[in-house]
Structure 1
Amino acid sequence: MGNINVRRIPDEVHRAIKAQAKAHGRSTEEEVRIILARAVMPRDEVGAGDLLWSIWDGVDLPDSAIRRDKTPHEPIDFE
């Protein structure tokens, strides 16, 4: 397994992670591992959009071209 050393974490973030770890009954290190894994690993959960799409999947709708856009979205830039 690899190791990562993250420097200059803001104090408020560090405190929040420690509090979250304590609330979950885990060490801070384990909490960070879980946070990282959830952030980068694909989820097996079915989202609301997938559920709604499954309602119409396979239905023959003449004169309509319903296609799901699977293009990744770009985050909004508020600046």
Structure 2
Amino acid sequence: MASLSIRKLEDETLQRLRIRAAQHQVSMEEEVRRILRLAVMPPERLGRLAQQFFGERYGVELNLPTREVYAPVSFD
């Protein structure tokens, strides 16, 4: 697993990070890992979110339509 050092971090940022970590009852290191993980995650697709909350697991069967691919408009 890789390590990362951050230089020239403002005192105010460090203090806010310390407070945020304390609120979540984790170390500052863990809080930074969580923040970075969320920052680089791909965005959730609406269809995936719908399946997650209303899918078969909850007794609802969703039939999401397939998307049609359209040719780009030509202005020739």
Short-chain TM bin: 0.5 to 0.7
Partner of residue 32, structure 1: 32
Structure whose CA Rg is larger: 2
Q: How does 1:1-79 map to 2 (within 5 A)?
A: 1-44=1-44, 46=46
* Percent identity of paired positions between Structure 1 and Structure 2: 37
User: Normalising by structure 1, what TM-score?
Assistant: 0.55
C-alpha RMSD of the superposition? 2.6
Residues 10-63 of structure 1: per-residue CA shift (max 9 Å, x gap):
00000000100000000000000000010011244649xx97xxxxx85xxxxx
CA–CA distance in structure 1, aligned partners of residues 43 and 22 of structure 2: 25
Task: Report runs of 4+ in structure 1 exceeding 2 Å deviation.
Answer: 43-47
- May I ask how many residue pairs the two structures share in their alignment? 52
Partner of residue 76, structure 1: none
The runs of 5 or more residues in structure 1 that have no matched partner are 52-56, 59-66, 68-79
User: Normalising by structure 2, what TM-score?
Assistant: 0.57
The runs of 5 or more residues in structure 2 that have no matched partner are 51-63, 71-76
